């Protein structure tokens, strides 16, 4: 069994992303139309010229029909995909493979989530009939298990670690304040975040991703055709996905300081892309900062920091906008909120802007000339999650 | 010889200081009452008592009885939940006996008079009334279980000598199903009735068993006589009055610690008595509820070899009397606080639950026969080595474990937030992330020792969703 990847066989030639907001005045259809319109324009294609569609939404729609109906597609294949919070990335992954297979010349991946119509705070999973013995903990509480475990394992002072993850939130808010598409555009300092009341373990609401509606999309084609549509395509270097089997929940060797699925997806993606020194080869990474401890652990799982040292690198500013490897330069889930189906594609949209030199000056990264960006998207909980890692580059080879 | 093989009581962890009731409404109160937690109902109280009663015995009851005045389900048998949680054989019949206070002693009497080798009698009650009602203050929540049987099923610690029952229809206390409030007739009327009925049953019981009323009182020193009396019943004045008439003081009095446990009171008193009973002593259990029932036992030598798995005295001592009155009111539904703005849990699926009886009710996981890897819940495919369909069932209800890490969830839906949740590693293998109950956020720590307890996670569409939680070992 091998994961061969499709390095340099598919290119992203157009992208779009709506502002992420509490869109009280827009429904799922509106968000899809807005993202698709921007994406068609970006690629210079109309909907008739797209051969197939992958439609990522976790809970806002079922089947391909809602997307076909919203965009009034005529006799087109539309597949709805869902893979927890990595749904948007999964849509792109499927679209890329379809083009790589030769089945289609062009394909669109679109992710959308209309979260704010539920009437409840936070994200809420659609209940699947079960025997009633499943955990009913919030994601915040599950991820809050990381901090005490990490502090214990690496001998880090609990209060210092708490400030470290608050620094992650502060950094992402700093970046988000420079992004008009972000939902929260206010900077937050570390002290203010630490002062807030805990909602789960040591985490306050400011350690959690926001809740927003949004949509993002990409159009892909065969790499050799990319320059027909754009001078600055992004070539797909790696697409990796791991669905965990949940053993972390019942395996007493699992210690809550790592996400095994993310580490495995990272290793596979680096192998596909031929990356050996991610910290210095990548220009930037967008990672799934659903909660601040998640981003900290991901720095180690994705090989940016040595085990037990991410907290030091974070405090040293390695991952700041002007750091050695900018992480979440767009503001991350922290600033954008997390419309589940859209987030994965929103991350890739930032790679699209940064590597093409189209990000606004105030958040344009200095490392863009490295020409490679990584996006990481996870869904589920420590011990039981799915993880996606994608790598994209400006050059072939 | 037929009689009691084992007896146990289960007291919930929480206590309400009666002074807390008085402090709110104006008034006085002394002592405490036991309070079932928000995740306990009479069924779970009976399960816990049943587990204690069956510990250390090998008897397989042919019948399980469950008596309560506050059943969780009508129409559906509650005893089947207890049957599943105790992992009794399918051939063991399970029946509810309800829903009057007298049903507790009635089930015990039926078991003693049956010819089955072993019968498990469980009883539990949650005693509540409207705020500031006498029942709210004087009631207590508890479960009790008595394993009755012949010597063939196990050593008999208290031989049943016989007894008597008197039945009379009269109105003393009554409650319409669904109502929280028990109404009562003028107290003196019931008292008069009970004193007469109690005396009649007492004399009949002595005559039926041929024992004397009290040591030395019958003029025949050689005649065996009742050494101790226990008096159970919802009418406190009648209970005290009968004791006075018998010129005895009751040997068990839970008034200042537990309160009156309703349908479980008779069995609870009996279990308490047996914890300190001496071989050869005779005890009469008198119940005054819609009539009078007297059961007389002789404690045997076997009592010394069978100490309780967890004594009621220890449980009284281990209680937490820090329960605020507002929380008590919320747990009983008297006060309805604003819930977290999260969707309420969906009802559990009957067919899915039906497929996982052993796990959901019995807490039985599975163990890989080759690698020993423990799976909670049970699995067909092993996470270690990948063996397929090579597992054996692994009962874990009595396993103890250690908290590896924990969190306090103030966002999750719970009938009583916040949720306290821990990753527990069991001694001898197996890990489960599980809710921890009967504790407070400031009490819990990594390294704490935990045991498992049967609870009701939530209710939806009238369906009670039962499963297990961790509880600090105290």
pLDDT tens for each residue of A47-84: 999 999 999 999 999 999 999 999 999 999 999 999 99
pLDDT tens for each residue of A215-225: 999 999 999 99
Pairing relationship of beta strands B391-395 and B364-368 according to DSSP bridges? antiparallel
SS3 labels along chain A: CCCCCCCCCEEEEEEEECCCECCCCCCHHHHHHHHHHHHHHHHCCCHHHCCEEEEECCCCCCCCHHHHHHHCCCCCCEEEECECECHHHHHHHHHHHHHHCCCCCEEEEEEEECCCCCCCCCCCCCCCCCCCCCCCCCHHHHHHCHHHHHHHHHCCCHHHHHHHHHHHHHHHHHHHCCCCCCCCCCCCCHHHHHHCCEEECCEEHHHECCCCEEEEEEEEEEHHHHHHCCCCCEEEEEEEEEECCCHHHHCCCCCCCCCHHHHHHHHHHHHHHCCCCHHHHCCEEECCCCEHHHHHHHHHHCCCCCCCCHHHHHHCCCCCCCCCCCECCCCHHHHHCCCHHHHHHHHHHHHHHHHCCCCCHHHCCCCHHHCEEEEEEEEEECCEEEEEEEEEECCCC
Q: Look at B419 and A133 and tell me if their CB atoms are within 8 Å.
A: no
pLDDT tens for each residue of A288-303: 999 999 999 999 999 9
Q: Is B13 on the interface with A (CB under 8 A)?
A: no
pLDDT tens for each residue of A237-281: 999 999 999 999 999 999 999 999 999 999 999 999 999 999 999
The complex's ipTM works out to 0.92
Amino acid B220: pLDDT? 57
On the CB side of A359, how many CA atoms lie within 13 Å of its CA? Answer: 25
Best to test chain B binding among A132, A135, A196, A384 (most B CBs inside 10 Å): A132
Q: Look at B376 and A250 and tell me if their CB atoms are within 8 Å.
A: yes
- Residue A305, CA distances (Å) to A14, A255, B25 in order: 32, 18, 61
Confidence band (pLDDT; 50, 70, 90) for B222? low
pLDDT tens for each residue of B3-18: 999 999 999 999 999 9
Tokens of B265: 């009171």
- Residue A193, CA distances (Å) to A122, A171, A173, A318 in order: 19, 12, 11, 21
Residues B399 and B430: beta-carbon distance below 8 Å: yes
Q: Is B464 on the interface with A (CB under 8 A)?
A: no
Q: Look at A250 and B352 and tell me if their CB atoms are within 8 Å.
A: no
Alpha-carbon dihedral sign for residues A76, A79, A85, A90: negative
Amino acid B218: pLDDT? 55
Among A230, A181, A238, smallest CA distance to A210 is for A181
Q: Is A141 on the interface with B (CB under 8 A)?
A: yes
Percentage of the residues of chain B whose pLDDT score is greater than 90: 91
- pLDDT (mean) for B446-466: 96
Amino acid A126: pLDDT? 74
Q: Is B404 on the interface with A (CB under 8 A)?
A: yes
Confidence band (pLDDT; 50, 70, 90) for B98? confident
SS3 content of chain B, % helix, strand, coil (to 5): 25, 30, 45
Q: Look at B359 and A120 and tell me if their CB atoms are within 8 Å.
A: no
Among B184, B274, B168, B170, smallest CA distance to B234 is for B184
pLDDT tens for each residue of A343-397: 999 999 999 999 999 999 999 999 999 999 999 999 999 999 999 999 999 999 9
Q: Any idea what the Cα angle at residue A256 is, between residues A254 and A261, rounded to 5°? A: 75
Q: Look at A141 and B405 and tell me if their CB atoms are within 8 Å.
A: no
Percentage of the residues of chain B whose pLDDT score is greater than 70: 99
Q: Which of A132-146, A177-191, B355-369 has the lowest mean pLDDT?
A: A132-146
* Average confidence score pLDDT of chain B: 95
Confidence band (pLDDT; 50, 70, 90) for B219? low
- Residue A226, CA distances (Å) to A11, A88, A148, A273, A394 in order: 6, 22, 48, 19, 11
- pLDDT (mean) for B361-380: 98
Nearest-angstrom CA–CA distance, B382 and B366: 9
Nearest to A200 among B353, B410, B430 (CB): B410
Q: What is the pTM of this model?
A: 0.95
Q: Is A155 on the interface with B (CB under 8 A)?
A: no
Among B425, B423, B431, B427, smallest CA distance to B384 is for B431
Residues A302 and A393: beta-carbon distance below 8 Å: no
Query: Could you give all domains of chain B from N- to C-terminal order, each with its CATH number?
Result: 2-332 (3.40.47.10), 350-362+397-472 (2.40.50.840)
Q: Look at B425 and A252 and tell me if their CB atoms are within 8 Å.
A: yes
* Average confidence score pLDDT of chain A: 96
Confidence band (pLDDT; 50, 70, 90) for B452? very high
Contacts of A199 in chain B (CB under 8 A): 410-411
Confidence band (pLDDT; 50, 70, 90) for B216? low
Q: At what angle do helices A340-355 and A87-100 cross, to 10 degrees?
A: 60
Would you tell me how many other CB atoms lie within 10 Å of the CB of residue B402? Answer: 15
Q: Look at B376 and A198 and tell me if their CB atoms are within 8 Å.
A: no
Contacts of A118 in chain B (CB under 8 A): 343
Amino acid B411: pLDDT? 87
Query: Which class for B347: exposed (0-12), middle (13-18), buried (19 or more C-beta within 10 A)?
Result: middle
Contacts of A144 in chain B (CB under 8 A): 407, 409
- pLDDT (mean) for B357-373: 98
Amino acid A365: pLDDT? 98
Q: Is B377 on the interface with A (CB under 8 A)?
A: yes
Q: Look at A251 and B467 and tell me if their CB atoms are within 8 Å.
A: no
Nearest-angstrom CA–CA distance, A82 and A61: 10
Amino acid B81: pLDDT? 98
Residues A392 and A348: beta-carbon distance below 8 Å: yes
Nearest-angstrom CA–CA distance, A258 and B176: 57
Shortest distance between the Cα of B151 and any Cα of chain A, in A, equals 39
Q: Any idea what the Cα angle at residue A78 is, between residues A73 and A81, rounded to 5°? A: 140
Shortest distance between the Cα of B359 and any Cα of chain A, in A, equals 9
Per-residue burial over A145-156, b if 16 or more Cβ lie within 10 Å, else e, is bbbbbbbbeeeb
Q: Any idea what the Cα angle at residue A50 is, between residues A228 and A337, rounded to 5°? A: 100
Amino acid B217: pLDDT? 59
Q: Inform me whether the pLDDT recorded for A1 exceeds 60.
A: no
Q: List CB contacts of B188: < 8 A, sequence separation 6 or more.
A: none
Best to test chain A binding among B349, B423, B425, B442 (most A CBs inside 10 Å): B423
Would you tell me how many other CB atoms lie within 10 Å of the CB of residue A189? Answer: 14
Shortest distance between the Cα of A152 and any Cα of chain B, in A, equals 10
Chain A residue whose CA is closest to B359: A133
């Amino acid at each position: 069994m091998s994961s061969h990847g499709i390095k340099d066989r598919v290119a992203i030639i157009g992208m779009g992303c709506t502002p992420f907001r509490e869109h009280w005045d827009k429904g799922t259809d509106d968000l899809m139309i807005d993202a698709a319109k921007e994406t068609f324009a970006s690629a210079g294609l109309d909907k008739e010229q797209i051969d197939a569609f992958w439609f990522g939404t976790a809970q806002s729609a079922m089947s391909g029909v809602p997307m076909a109906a919203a965009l009034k597609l005529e006799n087109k294949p539309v597949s709805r995909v869902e893979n927890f919070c990595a749904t948007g990335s999964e849509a792109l992954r499927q679209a890329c493979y379809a083009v790589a297979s030769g089945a289609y010349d062009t394909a669109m991946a679109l992710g959308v989530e209309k979260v704010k119509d539920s009437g409840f705070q936070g994200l809420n999973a659609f209940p699947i009939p079960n025997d009633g013995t499943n955990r009913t903990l919030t994601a915040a509480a599950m991820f809050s298990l990381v901090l005490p475990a990490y502090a214990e394992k690496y001998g880090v002072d609990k209060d210092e670690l708490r400030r470290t993850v608050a620094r992650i939130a502060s950094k992402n808010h700093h970046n988000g304040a420079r992004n008009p598409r972000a939902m929260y555009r206010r900077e937050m300092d570390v002290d203010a975040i630490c002062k807030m009341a805990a909602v789960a373990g040591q985490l306050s609401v400011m350690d959690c991703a926001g809740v927003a509606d949004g949509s993002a999309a990409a159009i892909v084609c065969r790499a050799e055709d990319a320059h027909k549509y754009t001078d600055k395509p992004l070539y797909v270097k790696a697409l990796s996905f791991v669905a965990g089997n949940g053993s972390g929940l019942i395996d007493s060797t699992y210690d809550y300081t790592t996400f095994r699925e993310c580490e495995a997806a990272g290793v596979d993606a680096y192998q596909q892309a031929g990356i050996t020194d991610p910290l210095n080869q990548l220009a930037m990474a967008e990672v799934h900062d659903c909660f601040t401890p998640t981003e900290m652990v991901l720095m180690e799982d994705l090989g940016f920091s040595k085990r037990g040292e991410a907290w030091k690198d974070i405090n040293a500013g390695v991952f700041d906008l002007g750091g050695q490897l900018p992480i979440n330069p767009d503001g991350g889930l922290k600033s954008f909120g997390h419309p589940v189906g859209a987030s994965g594609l929103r991350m890739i949209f930032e790679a699209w802007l940064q590597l093409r030199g189209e990000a606004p000056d105030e958040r344009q990264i200095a490392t863009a000339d490295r020409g490679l960006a990584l996006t990481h998207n996870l869904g589920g909980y420590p011990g039981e999650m799915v993880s996606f890692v994608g790598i994209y580059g400006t050059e072939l080879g | 010889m037929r009689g009691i093989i084992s007896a146990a009581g289960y007291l919930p962890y929480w206590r309400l200081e009666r002074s807390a009731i008085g402090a709110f409404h104006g008034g006085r109160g002394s002592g405490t009452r036991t309070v079932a937690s928000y995740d306990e109902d009479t069924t779970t109280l009976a399960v816990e008592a049943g587990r204690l009663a069956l510990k250390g015995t090998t008897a397989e009851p042919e019948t399980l009885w469950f008596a309560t005045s506050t059943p969780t389900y009508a129409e559906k048998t509650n005893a089947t939940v207890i049957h599943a949680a105790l992992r009794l054989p399918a051939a063991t019949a399970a029946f509810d006996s309800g829903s009057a206070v007298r049903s507790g002693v009635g089930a015990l009497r039926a078991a003693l008079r049956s010819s089955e080798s072993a019968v498990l009698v469980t009883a539990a009650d949650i005693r509540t009334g409207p705020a500031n009602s006498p029942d709210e203050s004087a009631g207590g929540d508890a479960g009790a279980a008595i394993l009755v049987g012949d010597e063939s099923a196990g050593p008999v610690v208290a031989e049943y000598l016989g007894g008597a029952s008197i039945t009379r229809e009269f109105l003393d206390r009554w409650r319409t199903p669904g109502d929280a409030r028990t109404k009562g007739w003028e107290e003196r009327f019931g008292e008069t009735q009970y004193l007469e009925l109690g005396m009649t049953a007492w004399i009949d019981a002595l005559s039926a068993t041929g024992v004397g009323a009290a040591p030395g009182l019958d003029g025949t020193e050689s005649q065996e006589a009742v050494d101790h009396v226990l008096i159970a019943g919802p009418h406190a004045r009648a209970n005290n009055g009968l004791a006075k008439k018998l010129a005895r003081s009751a040997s068990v009095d839970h008034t200042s610690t537990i309160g009156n446990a309703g349908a479980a009171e008779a069995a609870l008193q009996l279990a308490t008595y047996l914890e300190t009973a001496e071989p050869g002593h005779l005890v009469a259990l008198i119940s005054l509820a819609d009539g009078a029932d007297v059961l007389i036992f002789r404690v045997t030598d076997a009592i010394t070899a069978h100490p309780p798995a967890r004594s009621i005295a220890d449980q009284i001592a281990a209680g937490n009397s820090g329960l605020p009155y507002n929380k008590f009111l919320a747990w009983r539904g008297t006060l309805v606080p604003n819930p977290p703005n999260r969707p309420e849990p969906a009802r559990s699926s009957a067919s899915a639950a039906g497929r996982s009886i052993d796990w959901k009710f019995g807490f039985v996981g599975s163990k890989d026969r080759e690698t020993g890897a423990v799976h909670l819940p049970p699995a067909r495919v092993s996470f270690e080595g990948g063996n397929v369909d090579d597992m054996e069932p692994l009962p874990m209800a009595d396993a103890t474990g250690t908290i590896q890490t924990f969190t306090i969830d103030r966002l999750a839906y719970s009938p009583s937030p916040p949720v306290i949740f821990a990753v527990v590693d069991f001694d001898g293998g197996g890990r489960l992330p599980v809710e921890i109950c009967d504790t407070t956020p400031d009490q819990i720590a990594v390294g704490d020792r935990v045991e498992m307890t049967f609870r009701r996670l939530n209710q939806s569409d009238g369906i009670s969703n039962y499963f297990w939680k961790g509880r600090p070992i105290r």
